[in-house]
Amino acid sequence: MAAPPGDAPLTAANNIQPFFTLHKASAAAASSAPSSRARRRIDASLPSSPNPKSAMRIRDVDAQDEEDSELYEQLRLEAFHRIWSRIQSTIDEVLRGINLKLFDQVLQWAQESFSAIRAVAKPCHAEVQQPYPLLTNVICRRIPTAFVLTKNAEFVDDITTFRDLAGHLQSSGCHLAKLSAAELSVKHGVGGCFRSLLRQLLSDVPDVADVFALASWYCEAENYNQPIIVILDDLEQCSSDVLGELVMMLSEWVIKIPIFFVMGIATTLDAPKKLLSSEALQRLEPCKLTLGSPSDRMNALVEAILVKPCAGFCISHEVVMFLRNYFFRHDGTITSFISALKLACSKHFSMEPLSFLCMGVLQEDCEEFWHDKFEALPQVIHKYAFGLPSCTSATNLSNSSNAMVNGLSKLLESQKDWGSVLLCLYEAGRHDKLQLLDIFCEAVNPDLQAQNASNAELPVSKVNIEKLSGMKSGSGKVYMAQVMNAIRYLPMENLLRVLEVWSIHLSGISEINDKVKELQSTTIDADSVRATKEKWTRKYLVPVECLPFHEIICFKNVGVLQSALIGNPRRMVQLDLLKSQSHLKCSCCSRTGTALSGTLHDTSIMCNLAQEYGDVINLHDWYISFEGIINSRNSKVKRKSYSSPSKKKSKSTPAESEAMIQARFCRAVTEMQITGLLRMPSKRRPDLVQRIAFGP
């Protein structure tokens, strides 16, 4: 390969000296390339559905008119946004409701601390701005500090909590400032930390950021009669020296400027003793508060978004088990569970052609909505709907729109009754410290229906609870059997309380609710309640996967979800590089068909060219192919500029030098190496690189 001209400027783009990967291969080296190895081409298509019949149905739907396809794709996108918006608002409301008790405790603590400081002294405006302490009977130098134990393994769950706490305190009249662990670092020091505090309180921060500026601001009439709350959401990540210096500085002004701390702690309430010096700890007046545990928040979320039909979207047993394990693998991080659930929701609406019908749940008249939408569907989608596995296995199901509407209506009604009975089980099981997520995982198991059918003719005493208790979670009624056993030993007082909650959950199921009221009004024993509840599980705990048309609202493809969350990132990088035209949707590449265009990104061109080789690629041949594509693009641009009728307006693009093409080639090779798609040449074979292929 020719070297660049001697007078060419040596820039970062064409300086290939550090790479030493390019040279003309000798004839012997070229001929010694292994030709016996089969060339492996990476399948650029996405992973196919594990169910071939499902894939065939999707291909049938894709065969419809392009205009209708875009219309239904838009409907699915709109449905996803509306339904996830409903789910997200429900999540925010649940978490805010759980945290509200803590927020009220913090607000009450702040008000009581402010009253205690004002009881010591209420300095006038002139005294506040004096640099010396007030002469009072009691010299108070202790800053009221609320230590909030979050018990979260990941800080990401605390972000929303402290954000909502700040809004709650600010709406109650308190002055708010938030300091992050990055601001309380050695790099910024106490000066930078205090300046950040002033920027959040003062509209105009002076050049000299000192306490006197804060005192002058606090003396204003609208600021004087409220405390200043400083929130540190992650105490354990702060610099101990900087935080200690800030505490010592503000403690001298605590009577004049009532600044209180709210500090978040993730591990243990003893963390401040390990972080701060004894002198700084003596300047704090601690108050210990605790946030609800992640399991409590998870139980509330499962009840609100999975058990109760809040948006008409649900997940299958396999997906639930995967999300449960995913939640525990991330140390009980609520945010990771919510993100995974959102991904499952987005995958459902992108893969299921009829998923836009889920939006009917949000309509006032859902049956009318479903009837109108289904009547307007093409014949191919009609055929697809009644070809769903849940419909082909159902009996006495006609291929009409009325059957479709009735099926979806019964599906939602069954889900509502199913959720009511499940909450009754949880209410009884919480006395034995059972989690709702565990009971939920068993209740959605479609094998439960077969177990109930096999035990339907047996008396309750014959149900082998000991055998069930030895089974693995998710494979049988392990937790449900534990619930049934726990009711047997509940004290009468707790049992009556459980029946009272049952009557609330079962208000829509008159058959069971009448029996519960009868039990409440008579002398009962635990055996009778247990026997009655066993009948509920047989009749009303029908998993959604056992009902017709459940595929429309239920996401079942756990493989797609697992691939997206745990995934194969290098495989996806390969697929994205090979399908860059479809991702970019540019006009210059779409007209070329399958041929490579020089307007593509260099790395994408290189990855596509690598498809023509085996596991080992000759660098010289690779470069020649790359150079040919780049030069063909330049020649096309040149011909287009020559044929332009307006020569003054058009400017011909000069052909790139060989040195520049070499530099672009080297950079693309390096990018493929960095992403792990390529292994660079060895000393034995400096003219060959090894391609690393992931997936089939």
Quick one: tokens of 176? 């708010």
Confirm if 455 and 538 have CB atoms less than 8 A apart: yes
Full DSSP string of 213-271: HHHHHHTSTTTTTS-EEEEES-GGGS-HHHHHHHHHHHHTTTTTS-EEEEEEESS-TTH
134-173 pLDDT per residue, tens: 545 445 788 999 999 887 766 778 888 898 999 999 999 9
- Please give the residue that has the higher pLDDT: either 645 or 327: 327
Q: What is the pLDDT of residue 205?
A: 80
Cα–Cα distance for residue pair 211/131, rounded to 1 Å = 9
Residue with the two structure tokens 């191919």? 380
Residues 6+ apart with CB under 8 A from 556: 315, 316, 318, 319, 545
Mean pLDDT score, 24-32 = 44
Average pLDDT over residues 387-415: 84
pLDDT at 4 over 70: no
Backbone angles phi, psi at 690, to 5 degrees: -105, 125
C-alpha to C-alpha distance for 58 and 52, rounded to whole angstroms: 10
Contact (Cβ atoms closer than 8 angstroms) between residue 398 and residue 449: no
Q: What is the pLDDT of residues 535-571, one digit of tens each?
A: 555 677 888 898 889 999 999 999 888 888 876 667 7
Contact between 440 and 422 under an 8 Å Cβ cutoff? The reply is: yes
User: Which has more confidence, 329 or 472?
Assistant: 329
What are the phi and psi torsion angles at 204 (to 5°)?
Answer: -135, 110
- According to the model, what pLDDT value does residue 309 have? 74
pLDDT at position 110 over 90? yes
Q: Burial, 136: exposed, middle or buried (Cβ in 10 Å; 0-12, 13-18, 19+)?
A: exposed
52-56, 586-590, 607-611: which has the minimum mean pLDDT? 52-56
pLDDT of residue 260: 95
CA 435/CA 440 separation, integer angstroms? 9
User: Is the per-residue pLDDT at 128 higher than 90?
Assistant: no
- Asked whether the predicted pLDDT for residue 5 surpasses 70, the reply is no
Q: What is the pLDDT of residues 596-641, one digit of tens each?
A: 777 788 888 888 888 888 788 888 999 999 988 888 766 655 555 5
- 220 confidence band (pLDDT: 50, 70, 90): confident
For the chain, give the percent of residues with pLDDT over 90: 21
Q: If 0-12 CB within 10 Å is exposed, 13-18 middle and 19+ buried, where does residue 286 land?
A: middle
Rounded Cα distance, 42 and 15, in Å: 32
Cα-to-chain-centroid distance, residue 632: 45
With 60 as the cut, is the pLDDT of residue 389 above it?
yes
pTM of this prediction exceeds 0.75: no
pLDDT at 62 over 50: no
* pLDDT of res. 139: 54
Band of pLDDT at residue 69, cut at 50, 70 and 90: confident
Alpha-carbon distance of 234 to 148, in angstroms, equals 10
**pLDDT band of 8, cuts 50, 70, 90:** very low
User: Residue 612 CB: number of other CB atoms within 10 A?
Assistant: 12
- Residue 118 burial (10 A CB sphere; 0-12, 13-18, 19+): middle
pLDDT at residue 314, rounded to an integer? 92
Average pLDDT over residues 224-235: 91
Q: Which residue has the higher pLDDT, 209 or 112?
A: 112
Looking at the predicted structure, is the pLDDT value of residue 53 above 70?
no
Closest CA to 381 of 73, 78, 64: 64
Tell me whether strands 688-691 and 678-679 are parallel, antiparallel or unpaired.
antiparallel
Average of pLDDT values for 358-372? 87
Which is more confidently placed, 137 or 428? 428
pLDDT score, position 417:
87
Is the pLDDT score of 105 beyond 90? yes
**473: β partners:** 476
The mean per-residue pLDDT over the stretch 120-124 comes to 78
337 or 648, which is more confident:
337
In sequence order, the 6+-apart residues with CB closer than 8 A to the CB of 578 are 42, 44, 604, 607, 608, 611
Cβ 359 vs Cβ 82: under 8 Å: yes
For tokens 């010592």, the residue is 248
Q: Tens digit of pLDDT for each residue in 74-100?
A: 889 999 999 999 999 999 999 888 889
Between CA 537 and CA 590 the distance in angstroms is 57
Name the residue type at position 409: S
Half-sphere exposure of 610 (CA within 13 A, CB side): 28
Least confident of 232-241, 243-252, 319-328, 607-616: 607-616
Predicted local confidence at residue 210, as pLDDT: 81
More confidently predicted of 204 and 298: 298
Burial class (CB in 10 A: 0-12, 13-18, 19+), 109: middle
pLDDT band at 303 (very low <50, low <70, confident <90, very high): very high
Least confident of 40-49, 293-302, 318-327, 433-442: 40-49
655 or 349: which leads in pLDDT: 349
Residues found in the chain? 696
Mean pLDDT of 314-321: 94
User: Distance (Å, rounded) from C-alpha 221 to C-alpha 218?
Assistant: 8
pLDDT value at 365 more than 70: yes
> Residue 466 pLDDT more than 60?
no
Is the pLDDT reported for residue 14 higher than 50? no
Model pLDDT, residue 552? 92
Please tell me the predicted confidence (pLDDT) of residue 18: 40
pLDDT of residue 242: 92
Would you state the pLDDT for residue 113?
A: 93
DSSP helix/strand/coil, 286 = strand
* 255-282 per-position pLDDT tens digit: 888 999 999 988 788 888 888 999 999 9
DSSP code at position 612: T
Say if CB 606 and CB 669 are below 8 A apart. Answer: yes
* pLDDT of res. 342: 94
Tokens, residue 318: 């396999």
Mean local confidence (pLDDT), 332-358: 91
Residue 474 has pLDDT above 70, yes or no: no
